[in-house]
Amino acid sequence: MNSPNRSNRPRLLVLRGEDLPPGHDRIDDHPGLGEVVYTTADELPTRLPGTDLLLVWDLFSEALASAWPKADALRWVHAATTGVDNLVFPGMVDSDVVLTNSRGIFEQPIAEYVVGQVIAFAKDFHRSWDLQRERRWRHRETERVAGRRALVVGTGPIGRAVGRGLAAMGMDVHASGSRARSGDPDFTSVVESSLAERGADGGATLVSALPGADYVVVAAPLTDTTRGLVDRRFLHLMKPTARLINVARGPIVVQTDLEAALAEGRIAGAGLDVFDDEPLAADSPLWELPGSVVSPHMSGDVVGWREDLVDLFLDNLARYLDGRDLLNVVDKSRGYVPG
């Protein structure tokens, strides 16, 4: 229980999910905080008044948008995720409230997941597992990884970690970002993330990059620009032997278009960790379509990840209380941390 002498210190509200943050006593007993209150999404509107700081531990909750009129004292919101598409609603964007995310926690685990997906596709592990269950000995030839071309959609920290992981296996790694450019330290080339024939500055776009890619990895934040980017045209620009891997957000991919592309053999496979609606419905075609590999939004979740999230929040909290610059400040107009 907080002692009375904390009354003039900032009030922290924690929007919890199913579980409390691990070791939450480090938050509860923090000497720099006043009242620490845990709330659910349903209770948020009644708990939010008088709150100075908000920790969004309910990772994908959209409750803050509807409760926003009650945020009469809020100064800082910290998200226990990298993606903040659920928090960049108009009221938040137009306010002076600082928004930070958990960049730095998930990049390497997600890169390892992508590397694993590429190897599993190339070495036909999925078929080997099926044949093992059937007790069938069937020799096959598999594909090389070295020398193949990858296209990473998104040049932020996750995309760059993915690019470095793929390059370490000898792949030729290209990317798409907000603008076309050369001389990038992590990618052979960067084109504009657009399906226009030429980019805004006249540079190359996905139209020229997709046809040569053996693996296309979606690692961009969900914004107005990227929502629905991977549509029927995008998928038809990929070669029939290419695979799509999505570790970003489900709505970047038009799911019905992807289902059609897999069913028609327009692409060879898809490694999917995120979906329009989660959990993925039991009757979704993606469970059984040829080449479809489904995982339950876990690409960045390794042992100890929740503890790492708490450590990062406490580091930023110390910075906030000391008046120092915060880590991972989101450009709310863009929807991600720039730079």
Dist CA 139 CA 162 (whole Å): 31
- Which of 249, 259, 264, 334 is the catalytic position? 249
CA end-to-end distance (rounded Å), the chain: 41
- Which of 47, 148, 243, 297 is the catalytic position? 297
> What's the gap between Cα 244 and its chain centre?
15
At 206, list the tokens.
Answer: 């996905």
Please confirm, yes or no, whether 141 is among the known catalytic residues. no
Dist CA 216 CA 26 (whole Å): 41
Q: CB neighbours (10 Å) of residue 196?
A: 10
Please confirm, yes or no, whether 139 is among the known catalytic residues. no
At 141, list the tokens.
Answer: 């030839």
| Residue whose token pair is 């597992």 | 129
Dist CA 262 CA 271 (whole Å): 11
Residue 126 DSSP label: H
What 3 state SS string does 134-170 have? CCCCCCCCCCCCCCCEEEEECCCHHHHHHHHHHHCCC
Dist CA 233 CA 236 (whole Å): 5
At 280, list the tokens.
Answer: 């993925």
- Which of 264, 278, 307, 324 is the catalytic position? 278
Please confirm, yes or no, whether 126 is among the known catalytic residues. no
> What's the gap between Cα 223 and its chain centre?
12
Instruction: Find the largest Cα–Cα distance for the chain.
Output: 73
Q: What positions carry a catalytic annotation?
A: 249, 278, 297
